[in-house]
C-alpha cells in the first residue's frame, strides 16, 4: 500500500481561469470602465508595468555595483598582520580633592 502525499505548489492548488471565466472578466471590466476609457486604462497599466521593471532593473544594477565595490575593497584592504605598539605615558598623579 502506497501513501500519496500532496505536492506543494502544484497546478491543482491554483486552477487557471478558462475561456468562459475570461469572457466574464472582460465583460465586467467593460461595464466598470466603459469602452471609451479602456485604451486609457490599458496605457496607464502598461506604463506602470514599464516603470516597475525599469526601477527594478536599476535597483538590481545598484545592488550588484555595491556588492562588487565591497568585494573589491575587501581584496584591496591590507591584511592586519602587523601590530604597531605604542607606549602610553602614565598620567601625573594629582592630590585627591575633597568634595
Between 10 and 92, the more confident residue is 92
| Residue whose C-alpha is closest to residue 41's, from 51, 50, 32 | 32
Q: Is 9 left (phi over 0), alpha (psi -120 to 50) or beta?
A: left
Which DSSP state fits 66? H
Q: Model pTM? A: 0.38
Place 38 in a pLDDT band, splitting at 50, 70 and 90.
Answer: confident
Output the pLDDT for position 48.
94
Q: How far apart are the first and last CA of the chain?
A: 89
Using CA atoms, how far apart are residues 45 and 60, in angstroms rounded to an integer?
Answer: 23
Report pLDDT digits (tens) over 61-86.
777 776 776 666 666 555 555 556 67
Buried-state track 6-44, b at ≥16 Cβ within 10 A, e below 16? eeeeeeeeeeeeeeeeeeeeeeeeeeeeeeeeeeeeeee
Report pLDDT digits (tens) over 14-37.
888 899 999 999 899 889 888 888
Amino acid at each position: 500500500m502506497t501513501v500519496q502525499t500532496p505536492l506543494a505548489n502544484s497546478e491543482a492548488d491554483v486552477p487557471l481561469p478558462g475561456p468562459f471565466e475570461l469572457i466574464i472578466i472582460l465583460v465586467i471590466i467593460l461595464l466598470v470602465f466603459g469602452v471609451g476609457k479602456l485604451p486609457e486604462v490599458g496605457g496607464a497599466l502598461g506604463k506602470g508595468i514599464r516603470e516597475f521593471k525599469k526601477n527594478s532593473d536599476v535597483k538590481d544594477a545598484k545592488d550588484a555595483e555595491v556588492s562588487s565595490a565591497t568585494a573589491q575593497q575587501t581584496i584591496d584592504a591590507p591584511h592586519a598582520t602587523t601590530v604597531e605598539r605604542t607606549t602610553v605615558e602614565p598620567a601625573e598623579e594629582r592630590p585627591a580633592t575633597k568634595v
